[in-house]
Structure 1
Amino acid sequence: MTAEYSFTTRANDADDVRPFSPLTSDSPSLEFSRKYADIAALSAGDPSLLRPRLTDDARENLAGLPPQSNEVALVFGANGFVGAHLVARLSADPTITTVYAGVRGADGVSAQERFELTLLQYSISVIDRSKVQVIEAVPTRTRFGLDPDSYRFLRRSVDLVFNSASSTDYDSSYLELREDWFASLLRVVQFTLEDRRKHLTYMGSIGAFIYTSPEDFLRPDSWWYSGYCQMKWINGQLLRWLSRDGIASVTLCESPYVLGGTVVGKDPGRVYSWWRAIEVAVNVGAIWDGPGMNYAPVDVLADVLVHNATADEPMDHLVPSNPTPYDNSLLAELLGIDVVPWEQFIEVVTSKIPYRKVSSLLSSDVNDLIYRSNAPSRLPASYDTSWWNHKELFTLYLDNIDFRGAVAAPVVAPGVRVPAEVS
């Protein structure tokens, strides 16, 4: 079961005389009642403090724009796992004429080369390259790093924006992530409010669901209560206000763990908590008796996002997770390991693996956190999920992961190999 904050209007009450101002010069159309509204909202656990208002000039400008079209798409983070699949899915859509793939060049490797390497890494072959234009455009920079003319051209051309660019750094605090990933969202929202009506789809995270009580906002940072999850909570609350108040056309996709596609099965592997938990279980020969973590195959996620964004009336909130729950006994069956109570699992793990390697995983009641984050699936009503088979998908995923370099353990299942010694 998950809990959600109910919205209040305290920050925008008519008798509130506090001055409103933008939080960044790159997003002048959105004004907030506090200089650091995001930090105030996070500190108090109060999303009403993050409620923005549209300036009079921006409101007048929006009213004069023609109806939105759905022909030209822009994907930020296109060299990432989700972003590359989104570009491919958009390019295959007959209603889409152009897909701008926003990629950051790095270490002497061009944006185009990084995008091609990502396609190769995840065996993405179904893509209409004639529609795809790779551009070095990243939301963490003013004008996305483009020259003024290129930025204005993009702003006047794009109909659909997909923001899958983000940090998956669980070690950094919210303050360390703020300038890039909160400021970048404000920059993207500003882009959607100018020259042409645009629909924004933002990749949030079910990690934001663990913040359900005032006490959660007071906890010290950890793997679960991380700056990353706090950033996703902040960004999600901002987008909810934008949608609720009719300021912008947005879809908040609070994504579960994104695993490999239904045919290829390749994903980034051990960078995800889902895989790290399995890695620990493999090494100790046991997994705890508890609920399985929500997940979505990447090709399903991309299809849902495009299906929704191109609809006549897109949903403003998606949770594209498995519609039928499962528990860890299924993983135990596939891995050939035991199912034990949580307390026994902790004892076994701490006896076999140095605690420093798993302390962040074991520092909280994992079952409680999983119950919180396993929000019910929210998909477009017409979307068919009858094919979703946990056992078949997990078998495919396990055949595509290699645990070499993990903390310990022998071969335990086809495709799951780990070294025999603790590193």
Structure 2
Amino acid sequence: MFDDYTFTTVANDAHLVSPVVALTGDAPSLLFSRKYADVAALSAGDHELLRPIVDPSTAEQVRSMAPPAAEVALVFGANGFVGAHLVAELSVRPGITTVYAGVRSAGDSSAAERFEETVAQYSITGIDLAKIVVVEAVPTRTNFGLDEDTYLQLRRTVDQVFNSASSTDYDSSYLELRHDWFVSLLRVVQFTLEDRRKHLTYMGSIGAFIYTSPEDFLRPDSWWYSGYCQMKWINGQLLGWLARDGVASVTLVESPYVLGSTTVGKDPGRVYSFWRAIELASSVGAMWDGPGMNYAPVDVLASVLADNALGDDTLPHLVPSNPVPYSNAVLASALGLDLVPWAEFKAIVDRAIPAEKTASLLGSDVNDLIRRSNAPSLMPSSFDGSSWDHDALFALYLSVIQFRDATARRPRLVTA
């Protein structure tokens, strides 16, 4: 798919500007029809406003470059749940010689120490440490926060870039997330266009699928219609244009909820609406009868991303959701809960828990939201879903994770 490129370019047009140039000067090659194209697109619900134009000099340089190779990888967010598993998966691939693990230091912990702690925390064992080089490379910083020599070395040697660095903050607005997570994506795209052609795999979210009608863009922010989901919609639309126009070599991964591995089941726990809904159900002794939320075991996800990026037929779009749908009956059975209609479940929760604590999570149209976000699976042709057994996986997850009793005034840990 990388042999023929049809770039959308521009010679001289004073109306084309880059929002990143205005802020940092880090992504001069990507131009837009207006200064804050992302904000305009979100306000209007119009993805056309996000279509980037690559400047002619960059377009000519990229055309002369060889297609992306598959020997050296750079993973942003490598101390995160997905990032650490992805670094491990890439490190055991025979064709990979080096995996740069981009990690931010914190407090007294160095980048290397944070990565080691994450590997230990999630019991990641399938890993070749000899291939891994931990670097404090952070996409929210100019030159990723690296010194000039290290940055240029990465720019000249990296073949594959995986961006799993992001925020799971559902309370912040898009404008609060914009500088870190939209601007940083443009910075990463610029990096993939310089010195050698690099393939970018970006972790998006199925939360972006919630924005399907003009009315959705006018709704007030909530747990579902959050600044986080808006950011993922913006970034997904941008990458869609880059893929369609041949500006960059990219794969947009619209990921579902990412849960523990199929082996040890260790999970970040309670960071998703997925777990919070189950926590409520466990607290009140009932689960509503509706569609189960799409999810992916983290080790399966890492394998899918590596297979796609390093394979011969790289797809520009992946939806690594469960290939066989399931219903909440699976969860009710695993937890020993009553399965009741949605209206009855909502009434049970309202009697047990103050409505203001659940209003943002349990909207009146929650089943509709879940159906919208449960996009059909889109995987590489090599995908084998035999390990994606709902009953076995939830039995594993529920034997490990701890829930807080949502009905109690004080937090109480309940082991399922």
TM-score, normalization: structure 2? 0.94
1:146 maps to what in 2?
146
Q: Which residue of 2 aligns with 1:278?
A: 278
- Counterpart CA distance in 1 for 2:180 and 2:161 is 18
Question: 1: CA distance between counterparts of 2:364 and 2:317?
Answer: 28
Paired letter, 2:214: P
Could you list the per-position Cα deviations for residues 299-342 of structure 1 after superposition, in whole angstroms to 9, with x for gaps in the alignment? 00000000000012310000011111110111111111111111
Q: Distance in 2 between matches of 1:40 and 1:89?
A: 39
Equivalent in the alignment of 1:91: 91
Whichever residue aligns with residue 20 of structure 1, its letter is L
- Partner SS, residue 179 of structure 1: helix
Give the Cα–Cα distance (whole angstroms) in 2 for the partners of residues 49 and 81 of structure 1: 33
* Letter of the structure 1 residue corresponding to residue 166 of structure 2: S
Cα deviation 1:234-282 (Å, max 9, x = unaligned):
0000000000000100000000000000011011011111111100000
> Matched residues in 1 for 2:233 and 2:14: separation?
25
Find the counterpart in structure 2 of residue 203 from structure 1.
203
- Aligned pairs for 1:12-411 (under 5 A) are 19-24=15-20, 25-404=25-404, 406-408=406-408
Which sections of structure 2, spanning at least 5 residues, go unmatched? 1-7
- Residue type of the partner of 2:17? S
8 Å Cα contact 1:399/1:416 also seen in 2: no
Letter in 2 for 1:94: P
Secondary structure at the counterpart of residue 415 of structure 2: coil
| Equivalent residue number for residue 421 of structure 1 | none
TM-superposed CA distance for 1:345, in Å, is 1.0
Give the aligned residue type for 1:263.
Answer: T
Count how many residue pairs are aligned between Structure 1 and Structure 2: 401
User: For the residues of structure 2 that align with 1:324 and 1:305, how far apart are their CA atoms?
Assistant: 19
Partner residue in 2 for 1:8? none
SS of the residue corresponding to residue 321 of structure 1 reads coil
CA contact (8 A) 2:279 2:404 kept: no
Aligned partners of 1:70, 1:108: CA distance in 2, in Å?
35
- RMSD over aligned Cα atoms: 1.7
Structure-2 change in CA distance of 1:110 and 1:13 (3 Å): closer
Of residues 187-196 and 353-362 in structure 1, the stretch that sits farther from structure 2 once superposed is 353-362
Percent of aligned pairs with the same residue?
69
With 251-260 and 61-70 compared, the bigger mean Cα shift is at: 61-70
* Mapped partners of 1:76, 1:364: distance in 2: 37
Which stretch of structure 1 is more off in the superposition, 355-364 or 187-196? 355-364
What's the TM-score once normalised by structure 1's chain length?
0.92
* 1:417 lines up with 2:387 in the alignment: no
Closer, same or farther: CA 291–182 of 1 in aligned 2, 3 Å: same
Query: In structure 1, the residue corresponding to 2:360 is in which secondary structure?
Result: helix
Match of 1:9 in 2: none
Measured against aligned partners, the alpha-carbon deviations of 1:17-50 in whole angstroms (never above 9, x if no partner) come to 7711212111001000011000000000000000
Deviations 1:63-103 (A, max 9, x none): 22233211000000000000000000000000000000000
Bigger drift between 158-167 and 387-396 goes to 387-396
Deviation of residue 178 (structure 1)? 0.1
How many angstroms does 1:358 deviate by? 1.3
CA contact (8 A) 2:37 2:49 kept: yes
Q: How far is 1:216 from its partner?
A: 0.1
Deviations 1:117-149 (A, max 9, x none): 101110011110000000001000000000111
Query: Partners in 1 of 2:128 and 2:28 — Cα distance?
Result: 37
> Which amino acid in structure 2 is aligned with residue 234 of structure 1?
I
Which ranges in structure 1 are unaligned for 5 or more consecutive residues? 1-11, 410-414, 419-423
Paired residues of 2:352 and 2:407 also in contact (CA < 8 A): no
Instruction: Report how far residue 60 of structure 1 moved.
Output: 1.3
Cα distance in 2 between the residues matched to 1:69 and 1:386: 30
